[in-house]
């Protein structure tokens, strides 16, 4: 009984000490959170570092009151810096797949808040695809757009996503998207979705993984393995640099093995 009483006393003292320490920590955390976030029109934006491709037929730029300050039409895809991302997701329609995060961006003649469905955040290369051709370092980077996608908070949403890649080429001073030549193989690979840029997919439909990269002169041939829920196949894509941009063309699209 005495041992039990002694344990309670020690526990109580420990709780008091932790509580006092916790209060100090909470104050420090609040200050740190303020430094790491901004509140704009009642929305908390977490400060974020990174780059993204901003693109869309019509892009609305919002000010700090979430009023449209500018609307850009037919703007070519542009690399911007990401300054912050809203900690909540928003939707102005009844379709959950139209939901998005607000994103603060900054770039050439752009400084404001945009709809995350038009922002494709550049990821570190998760395909082990940094390679060298004639002393020229080339890197393939994947992207992740900041709208509702395949899953959300552990729940499967199944919303369609675009996943264009970027190529970073030091010698040619190129950092941008890869145009896709449409042919019968690209239509099979994208289920007849004629998206204008080459993608490496990772969603509920399939998972792509680059198996090898073969260099033939100025041509780069990617051998890609694709896995479905009930099967797999392999295909090849040709990359080439022409007219100051990268172009991709499907060379084949292998039979799906179930």
For range 195-213, the mean pLDDT: 92
Residue 254's pLDDT is what?
97
Encode pLDDT of 50-76 as tens digits: 999 999 999 999 999 999 999 999 899
* Selection from 198, 220, 130 nearest residue 170 by Cα: 130
Residue 204 or 10, more confident: 204
For range 105-134, the mean pLDDT: 85
67-76 CB contacts, 8 Å cutoff, 24+ apart: 69/112, 70/112, 72/110
Average pLDDT, the chain: 85
Task: Report the C-alpha gap between 224 and 213 in whole angstroms.
Answer: 9
Encode pLDDT of 88-118 as tens digits: 999 989 999 999 999 999 999 899 999 999 9
User: How are the residues of the chain apportioned to helix, strand and coil, as percentages rounded to the nearest 5?
Assistant: 20, 50, 30
Lowest mean pLDDT among 87-101, 113-127, 170-184, 194-208: 113-127
Task: Report the C-alpha gap between 60 and 91 in whole angstroms.
Answer: 15
Lowest mean pLDDT among 6-10, 56-60, 94-98, 127-131: 6-10
Residue 6 reports pLDDT greater than 70: no
What's this model's pTM, rounded to 2 decimal places?
A: 0.82
User: Where would I find the beta strands (DSSP E) of 48-154?
Assistant: 51-62, 68-86, 102-107, 110-115, 119-122, 130-133, 136-141, 143-145, 151-152
Residue 72's pLDDT is what?
94
């Amino acid at each position: 009984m005495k041992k039990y009483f002694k344990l309670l006393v020690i526990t109580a003292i420990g709780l008091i000490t932790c509580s006092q320490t916790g209060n100090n920590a909470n104050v420090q955390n609040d200050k740190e959170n303020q430094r790491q976030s901004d509140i704009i029109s009642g929305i908390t934006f977490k400060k974020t570092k990174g780059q993204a491709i901003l693109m869309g037929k019509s892009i609305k730029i919002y000010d700090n009151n979430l009023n449209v300050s500018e609307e850009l039409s037919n703007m070519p895809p542009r690399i911007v810096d990401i300054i912050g991302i809203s900690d909540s997701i928003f939707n102005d329609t009844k379709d959950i797949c139209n939901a998005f995060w607000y994103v603060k961006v900054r770039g050439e003649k752009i400084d404001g808040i945009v709809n995350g469905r038009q922002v494709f955040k550049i990821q570190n290369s998760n395909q082990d695809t940094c390679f060298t051709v004639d002393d020229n370092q080339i890197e393939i980077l994947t992207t992740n757009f900041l709208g509702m996608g395949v899953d959300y908070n552990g729940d499967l949403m199944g919303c369609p996503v675009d996943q264009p890649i970027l190529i970073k080429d030091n010698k040619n001073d190129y950092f941008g998207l890869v145009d896709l030549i449409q042919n019968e193989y690209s239509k099979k690979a994208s289920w007849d979705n004629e998206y204008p840029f080459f993608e490496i997919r990772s969603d509920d439909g399939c998972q792509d993984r680059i198996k090898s990269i073969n260099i033939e002169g100025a041509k780069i041939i990617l051998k890609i393995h694709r896995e479905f829920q009930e099967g797999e196949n392999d295909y090849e894509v040709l990359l080439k640099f022409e007219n100051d941009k990268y172009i991709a063309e499907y060379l084949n699209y292998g039979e799906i093995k179930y």
